[in-house]
Structure 1
Amino acid sequence: MLPRLLSVFTLSLSLVFASSLTAIAQIKDAVSTTEEIDILAIAGIVLDADPEVLLDGLEEPPADRELPEGFLNPPSGVPANAEVVDAFAIPVDELDGALGSFSHAFDTDGAVIEGLLSAGVINYIVVEAEITERELDEFEDGASGGLDTGDAGLTGTVDRVDVSGQDAVLITVELEDAGIFGAVQVIALPVGNTLVIGTVVVADVGEVDADGVYDLAEALTLAGVTHLEAVAEAAS
């Protein structure tokens, strides 16, 4: 039943991204458990950075030392669960108005993150101007529409959460099928003109603690923000 679980995950989350990214993709003339970081200060650094140099820097993933415990870059260069993480890659040619988009997939250490299957992904979407509250609202609305899959074994919610003092959109998807349980937590956090999206997927026999998966997703998202800060400083 694991292949079915994977197929439902990839379908549902692909729909979420397809719906919600429509709003972000059209940004052109916008107004400008984890250790907390100063998101607003980092946003200022990002906005001051040269966009082309910023994009060049974001093409490389965070190093293992920058990642939360339990996550690592795939040693072979190919993610262990490529069939899952490929669903979270966001092609830039589908984002009209975006300057660039990069997706970095990470393997997990089974001694830290338990489960039959687990993976992490950080996406960066860089647009022309600062992402506003209105545009985050549109992202949230799009994500809500994308969760309407009609699958009886799948439940999904979209909420606003506070991540280090900054509003973010949280997408939660949970699935149960023939004794296999899964949870996906997606956190979309605007940082200046860049949307940082941290995603964690965990599936196992027996119930999966969605709150625990959230903690992992928050830590991965903030690691993505810290990496963005370092890249932006070098691009200023």
Structure 2
Amino acid sequence: MTKTIEHKALVELGARHVKQLGFPVIATELRAWGTNEEADVIGFRASSSILIEAKCSRSDFLADARKPVRSAGGLGVYRFYLCPANLIQAEEVPDRWGLLWVQGKKVVSVKAPRGNLWPPYDPSPDSGDWSHFMHEPSLKAERAVLFSIARRRSLSRTEEKYEAAVHRANLTADRLARANDSLANENRDLALKLSLATLGANSEPNAVARPSRAIPRRRIRRADDLTG
């Protein structure tokens, strides 16, 4: 594993850690209808759930920690950030969040409840130390995720490969759309500079540069558009 741990490697370590904690139903980087949240790692047991968000940079962590869903609703009764050692400090995580570090190929608890009970959501003092790490999750969002997991497990191998291909195609389409927007902006900037340069080089005192034609922005079609 390289010194700078990639996001994919963090997610894999996080999923393995969640399984070791006793959450048998696990999904990684899952999108589901009914919630805009895409959990890096989500795990379920009979009466509880756990969420892990993997972060490779401080800028990504700081932006993520400001999301409203991190403090109200969202996925997971228990929630953790997972990062390379020392990237995030315990006092920086949002209220009731835990923190896990990756050291080598091991996941180390920096801020977490003691024991391995993982009781269901109950913020009363009777829950002891666990109540300090509990969130009231969005039941609608968690149902949507559980349905998505169950649906995936019921698919045939061919259907599973098809859905994975669609997901990859959508990611590529999103990336190309962003690249297309960036190139369109660059083209407009270059056209403006050319127009100004032409105006400055023209010897006629009353010459006015012709406005450049707008560069059309092409829409990148997602796989969803093709199958819908």
With structure 1 as the length reference, what TM-score do the two structures score?
0.27
Bigger radius of gyration, 1 or 2? 2
Larger relative CO (CA 8 A, sep 6+): 1 or 2? 1
- Give the helix-richer structure, 1 or 2: 2
